[in-house]
Chains A and B, each alone.
With several copies, the nearest count.
Chain A
Amino acid sequence: MNSSFIVTATTAIQNTILQHESELESLDRAIGDGDHYINMKRGAQTIVEMQQELATLAPDVALNKIGMKLLSTIGGASGPLLASFFMGMAKIIKEKGDTSTATYASAFSAGVDTIRQRGKADIGEKTMLDVLIPVATQFTAMAAQNASPKEISTALKKTAEQGMLSTKDLIATKGRAAGLGERAIGHIDPGAKSCQLMIEAVCNLIE
């Protein structure tokens, strides 16, 4: 992963968010407050506007910058969580200093862990973590087995999709839907959906 990949990824992420406007909106309307799409759109937009600058930076610096910018742009629950992800990821990439698949896998995992700590949540609580944790686990495992980027991206897309779908039958115990009890059942978590979309979009770049 170099900075030009990051730039390409930001465009891909913005596109997938914009393409799924009505789906993301309905999900947060059903069990949240209806702003998740708007929040994600605002975040993606700001990052895309930084592309020129990002292209000139080292990957870890670029990722950290993205995190900081998301933190001051998105707000809501998804803002600090996604920001934490990028900042957590940047830290590992900076530490390891190499560009191996294993490094990216452990950076991704570190990002997810930062979200976990920030949100004091775990798998099974009907949040974005139901997508992110399984993906991080699998990414790490496949990287350890020296799977090819192509194999990995294909597998992660599938895992993300499963994780996203798994939120449908859960009662939420974190986030805004935590108040709904049984009423949350039958609805996919909006943050899980947007994370799945972003993972899919980025994986699609690795073919």
Chain B
Amino acid sequence: MKKFINKVDDVLVESLSGFALAHSDLVSLNLDPNFITRKQKATNKVAIISGGGSGHEPLHAGYIGYGMLDAACPGHVFTSPTPDQMLAAAEAVHAEKGILFIIKNYAGDVMNFEMAAEILPFESATVLTSDDCAVVNSTYTTGRRGVAGTVIVEKCVGSLAETGADLQACKTLGDKVNQRTSSIGVALTSCTVPAAGRPTFDISENELEMGVGIHGEPGRRRETMREADAIVQDMVQAILEDFAAKNLATPNTEALLLVNGLGATPLMELYLIYNAAARLFSEHGIKITRSLVGNYTTALDMAGTSLTLCLLDDEIKQHWDSPVHAAALRWGM
């Protein structure tokens, strides 16, 4: 393992400190329990809190700021944060209209946030993101993971919350965006958790993992490495089938296409993937009118990518386009 780190146990705190320092105009960091909030506490709005294991940067702390999150609770690398973090964060950002938790659907995250919510002295609601369509033949929503689509949910719900909308309205929009969003990832290499010191999985020079999770969880299948177009074709197919299974018609719809890097994939390749994916989706009658290409939900140092398609409607479009000012997403201000 070759990483820019000092002691393995200090990675998280040192990285969080660097983040807070680099963005001291935007955020404040609290250590022990660890949580990050907006520098300027918002007032009279639903407070949006997200969180999860670390190692997916810029998720979630990079999305704290006007128009998006109020706070984020970073766990250890790939490990859900704990209820005390969520309670302290909620205490810090609560602004009279309740707390909305946006949680990626993993058993650990769900249970920890649930336990926090149960003892929270404020009204709260939860949006569970579950956009990863890698997992097929499973009737258990527990098996469906939240991945890069979470960024779109956080952006849209964050936008709505700024308007003063109430908790239920924020939750409803979040659930809708999640429902209309589907993702799939592919890995060329494993990631290496600092504390583990070696790659999470072995993968040879001519293999890829189709449907990989953002923690290096195995996906649909191990496949032979092939041309980008062929890989992207399968990913697009998986997403289209997922929308069909959800009974969401895709032809003649507008969509947002997010081509996400998992950490070690060069932007040059991400744009090449975007080129292939956008063409394939449009061949299926989908009009890509919004795009995002870059490292938005990573898996440490994994070489890989994920595609996320979000079917737009006027409401989602409006909230996607509205101003945002976070460390990792900024426009309109």
* CB <8 Å contact, A178 and B140: yes
* CB <8 Å contact, A178 and B115: no
Query: Contact string, B69-83, partner A, CB cutoff 8 A, digits 1/0?
Result: 000000111111111
* A180 partner residues in chain B, CB cutoff 8 A: 217-218
Instruction: Give CA–CA (A71, B80) in the complex, Å.
Output: 11
A35's partner among B79, B112, B218 (CB-CB below 8 A) is B79
- Cβ-based interface call for A38 (8 A): yes
Instruction: Give CA–CA (A178, B140) in the complex, Å.
Output: 8
* CB <8 Å contact, A35 and B111: no
B138's partner among A76, A120, A179 (CB-CB below 8 A) is A179
* CB <8 Å contact, A25 and B196: yes
Interface residues of A in 1-57 (CB under 8 A from B): 25, 29, 31-35, 38-39, 42
* CB <8 Å contact, B82 and A79: yes
* CB <8 Å contact, A33 and B218: no
Chain B binder among A91-99, A102-110, A138-146, A169-177: A169-177
A34's partner among B84, B136, B196, B221 (CB-CB below 8 A) is B196
26 residue pairs A–B, Cβ–Cβ below 8 Å? A31-B218, A33-B213, A33-B215, A34-B215, A38-B79, A38-B196, A39-B79, A72-B33, A75-B76, A75-B80, A76-B53, A76-B75, A80-B108, A83-B115, A119-B107, A119-B111, A120-B142, A174-B142, A175-B142, A178-B135, A179-B144, A179-B145, A180-B217, A180-B218, A181-B136, A181-B138
- Cβ-based interface call for A74 (8 A): yes
Query: Contact string, B189-204, partner A, CB cutoff 8 A, digits 1/0?
Result: 0000101100011000
Identity of the chain A residue whose Cβ is nearest the Cβ of B115 in the assembled complex: A80
- Cβ-based interface call for A158 (8 A): no
**Interchain nearest-CB distance for A167 vs B (Å):** 15
* A75 partner residues in chain B, CB cutoff 8 A: 53, 75-76, 79-82, 108, 112
Instruction: Give CA–CA (A33, B76) in the complex, Å.
Output: 12
Residues of B contacting A: mostly:
loop
**Interchain nearest-CB distance for B112 vs A (Å):** 5
* CB <8 Å contact, A34 and B137: no
* B323 partner residues in chain A, CB cutoff 8 A: none
**Interchain nearest-CB distance for A82 vs B (Å):** 11
Identity of the chain B residue whose Cβ is nearest the Cβ of A127 in the assembled complex: B107
Instruction: Give CA–CA (A34, B55) in the complex, Å.
Output: 13
- Cβ-based interface call for B294 (8 A): no
A173's partner among B82, B114, B143, B221 (CB-CB below 8 A) is B143
Query: Contact string, B214-232, partner A, CB cutoff 8 A, digits 1/0?
Result: 0111110100000000000
